[in-house]
Structure formats: structure tokens, C-alpha cells
Amino acid sequence: MLLRRLSKLLQPFKAAINSNVLIMKTSHYRSFSNQVNPGSLCSIKRTEVEVPPAGVSDFYTLRDLDYAFVDKTLLIKQIFEKIRGSPLLITRPRRWGKSLNLSMIQAYCDILTAETFDNTFQGTEIFQDKDFRAKHANKHPVILINFNNFHLSSSTKTPWPASEFQRVLIDSIGLYSADIQDSDRLSQLDKDTFFNLLTTVESSTILDGLRTVMRTLKKHYQKRCIILIDEYDTPYNTIAQKDDFTSRMEEFKDAYKVFLTSAFKDLRFSALQFAVMTGVSRISHDQLLSGLNNLTCDMVYGQKVLDSKFFGFNETEVRDIIQKTMQSSPEKLDEVMNDVRSYYNGYRRMSDKETFYNPWSIAQFCISREFRPYWKASATDTWLKESYKILSLFEKAELDFLMYEQDFEVLKPLNDKIHIENLSTDPSMFWSLLIHTGYLTFGEKQPPRDFGNLYSLKVPNRDAFEALKDVISRFENLLSSDFIRAVKISIQDDDLDRLFKTLNEWIAKGLDTGYTYADESSYHMFLYQTFRLCLIKENWNVYSERILEEHKNRFDIVLASEDRLYLFELKFLSQTSAQQPSVKIEEALQQIDEKEYSKYFKGLSFKKKTKIGVVGQGKTLNYKSKESV
């Protein structure tokens, strides 16, 4: 009731400021455990249309066997239009269609697939574009390199890690061998150099092999090459699980950098049409990718080049595929979609309004017709564990709430690159990993700009919740905080002396909360996050209205229950300031009156209204409160 009344009263200025207002509603929370039980069967029967079985990521197989298919073929056209002669890195969580999309690009463009082209693409959206088809279909040699099955040792005389680059090259160029052998355009030296890659044990020759292959194919076919590298970051994830990963990582990184940059540098004279690499995250390991000229990235967080619709399924696509694969009336389909939505929907790219479903989970649901978690996240658990170790107790408690309260969100800094060398020192790496790997997604309402580089994060759905709970439970049992209980009880008992004593003890004991207390925003965020965390299950609403009526009026934090209202105004004093905190506190209390912050709540019958002036100085919060009329 209170929530509806507050919402109605605040509507006039909410509409004026739109997304510039950050409001975290903490009452009426929903738990993931309140949804349909895992293992519950969908009552809709199957049709004769089938979805592909687990693991099918070959586009030709999917089309040849007439499996249910969500058309993403216009991705090919968009890549040609936006990426010319340069490498593109696409990062998405695992099992989000990256491998299938690369296979689709290969099937469309590869000069060797002309005989099967019509059967494969007939009826697709891109097939309708005759001009584009005439220009690009089956016109390029395509080298598809897959690092999925990365080995940590050599089974040949070729030393590791060059042996791995030799293996993936052999897998990718085998179909071109006959054409190269019979070519009239290539000299014998060209052919010998090409085939030498299959047998040489010289690391330097192998690491320059991708460039050799590209030049040979371009000279024979008179067409620039397309390079597709799937799961480019899997080697890092595999190496990270070994005890000697530090030395191995350095050795591999040096070789990997030579392998990539030798092929992609100096693009003006390159044999490259374009290159697409896919992975879970952009790894910044001593500038691994810095040598790639004009690298473009398309990520969940960070740069955006491609339309979001090409990875993941939207609401219409999921409804359509369920309708095709299951017999249902419109009413029954609506009922099923509600449960499907809560289990598998909710993923959002930064700044996107539309949400997406995990394709893997939707496919598995259509096969089994059981509501259960199907998605297991990326093999970066080792990195998550490493970065989890340095989280503060405060952050671990936030993580606990994220996993068990469906509507709970946290504000965290993010990085668009994963710095391996900083995993054990920078807490933002943990939250960045959770976003890149798909355990978390972006909340609906992002904070305004004056919050700094902070983003609202949440667990997207039940599927991801189960995966996150599974991986974190392997690290340690999350701590229940005495601090959280003390804050909650202090507010419930209207004991502000105890509240600020608890807050100051928490800071003074050196328990890291993740804030530097270097300006007013640091104190504001500490208090705001604390109240959100402690009151999530209670009948309180936490508001932080940072921008009101075009910056004329601002209140920092409001706590509201059925019968009580707290209005907080924060000020900051540097540790070297000669001014007394009591003077700044009076300024804060006076500002609450002058700006008439309480007027927004006059229509509510609170038994008690309290205005609180707070001054942060060093690791101390000073306060004074007065009852407000």
C-alpha cells in the first residue's frame, strides 16, 4: 500500500527526470524460490518440428536436418557493412550462439560451399537480398579456427604451445589442400611453404602460419580471406586451472600474440577481408590484442557495433519457437510463456531496454519440456574464485542478497576488459566477470551520471541464479553479517545513536566496504548501499533522488516505512579542514528545510518524520537529527 501511495505522490517529478532518478524499492521483494519448481513438466505436447540436440553448432547440419531455426542470417550483411579489412571481437556468455553464427558466416561466404548454398540458405532473410548474394555468397576462402579443445601439452615433436597453433591450422585448411596442390597460380615454392605448415616442428614458422595460409589462399583464389576464430579466450581459461598457470600463461601469451598480429597487422597490404573472433570476455593480458590494428569490439558491456538481436532470442522469437515445437492454444501458450520468462529471460546489454533469452536453455526446454536450469556458465570459475577472495564482507553480503532476492540490485564499477594480472587486487574484476560470463545482467534503471562509473546489476533469471549459487557455493559459505543485523535493528528501533555507532565501528575496524571516503559521493554510496542491503526484506523503501526539477532541488537519501520517514542530507569535510563538523551538520539540516524536501511526502500520514544531517570526515560519520513537521 505504501509503495503505491509513494509512487503516486512522486509521479509528477519522476516523469520530469526519467532515468536520471535512481529509486531502489526494497519492500515486496520476490525470491527466486517462489517460482515454478525445478523439474516441473510443461503440459504442452510436442509437435513434429524438432529443435537441434545439445551441442549442434554447425549451421549446415541444422539446416540440412530441418531443425527449428531462429533466423539470424542478416548478421552476415551487417558484418560486411560495418567491418572492412579489420578484426572484430564479439564477446557473449557461453552457449549464446557464437559458434553457430560463425558456422553460418562460413556456410554463406566460403568459396567451397557453392554446391550446398541454395539448400542451406533458401528461405532465410539474407537469401532474399540478391545483390548482396551476388557479391559475397561463396566468394571468399574462409579459415575457421576453433580453440574449444585446447591442449596443454604436445603429442608431436612440435614444442608447446606452437603445437596447438599447428593443430588448429591443420583442422582449418584441410579442405583447401587439393585446390592448392593443383593450382596453376601458385609456384612450387608457394605450395611447399603451405604444406610445410603441416609437418614442421619450427615454432617461428608455425606462429607465422596464419599469414602464410592467408597469402597462399588469396593468391590462388584471387579473393581476400575471411578469418573466423571461435572461443579465442578458451586457452586462457584452460591454462588458469593449472598450478603452473603463471609461467604457462606468459609462454602462451607471447606465442598467441605473434600468431594473431602477424596475420592482422598492416591491413593495407593484407590478404584479409575481415576477421571475427568470439569469446566470453575481452582479455587484457599485457596488451595481447594491442597489436591488432583497428580492433573493433562488440560486447555486453563496452563497445557496441552489432545489433543486439543477433545473439540470444527475443520474446517474439521464443514464443514462435515454442509454438512451432509444441501444440498449444493461445491461452495455454501465454501460461507457459510466463514460466519460461521467469526461468530464462532477463538478459540485457548495457543501455538496452529489450531483454533476451539464453538460446541454449530455450532449446533444452523445448526438448525436455521441463522447467529446470540448463545453463552452466563459462569456464572462468578459476578466475571468479581468485577475484572472490578479495571481496569485502560487505560485498559478499551483497552477493548473498543478489542470489536469493529476485529484485535486488547492486551498484558496482565495471571494466570492459578482464585484466588477469589484477584478479587478486581489483574487486571490480569480480563484478566484471559476472557480467561478461552471464551470471549477472544490467538492471532496468541505471544510476545518473554523477554516480560515476557505477552500474546497477542483477541476476537475470532462475536459470542464472542456480548457476551462480552453484559456483559461489564451491568457494565458501557466504557470511551472515552482524553489521547488517545491527543496522536493521537500529532503524527498526528508531535508535540513531546506535545506528551511527554501528556504522562508525564498521569503518574504524578497517573492514573494507569498497569505498575510499574521499568525497561526499563516497559517503553517499556507502550509506545508500548499506540501507538497501539491510532493509531488503523489511517494510522499508530506500530512495536516492539525485536530480530533481532540473538540478534545483536534491535530497540524498530517504527511508520510508508505513509510519516513519527519515530525510538524510550529507556533507563532506576533508581531514585537514579546520571547520567543525557541527557547522556543516547545521548547514545540512537547514538545507532540508530550505529545499522543502519533505513536501514530496506531505500526502502521507507518517507518525514521525526525522531530518538527519550527516557529515563525513575521514572514517567518521557525524550526525544530528531533528523531528520534522
pLDDT tens profile 118-159 = 999 999 999 999 999 999 999 999 999 999 888 888 888 888
Per residue in 549-596, pLDDT (tens digit) is: 433 566 788 998 888 999 999 999 988 888 999 999 999 999 988 888
DSSP H or E segment with residue 365 = helix 359-368
pLDDT at position 7 is 42
User: What is the residue-averaged pLDDT of the chain?
Assistant: 82
Question: How many Å apart are CA 536 and CA 27, to the nearest integer?
Answer: 6
Per residue in 271-288, pLDDT (tens digit) is: 889 999 999 988 875 556
Longest CA span, the chain: 94
Question: How many Å apart are CA 165 and CA 207, to the nearest integer?
Answer: 7
| CA dihedral of residues 576, 577, 583, 589 (deg, nearest 10) | -80
pLDDT at position 248 is 82
More confident residue, 392 or 527: 527
pLDDT at position 206 is 92
Selection from 244, 260, 243, 252 nearest residue 285 by Cα: 252
Which band of pLDDT confidence, cut at 50, 70 and 90, is reported for residue 299? very high
What Cα–Cα distance (Å) separates residue 552 from each residue in 101, 446, 572, 584, 611?
50, 21, 20, 20, 19
For 137, the grid coordinates are: 555468397
Sequence length of the chain is: 629
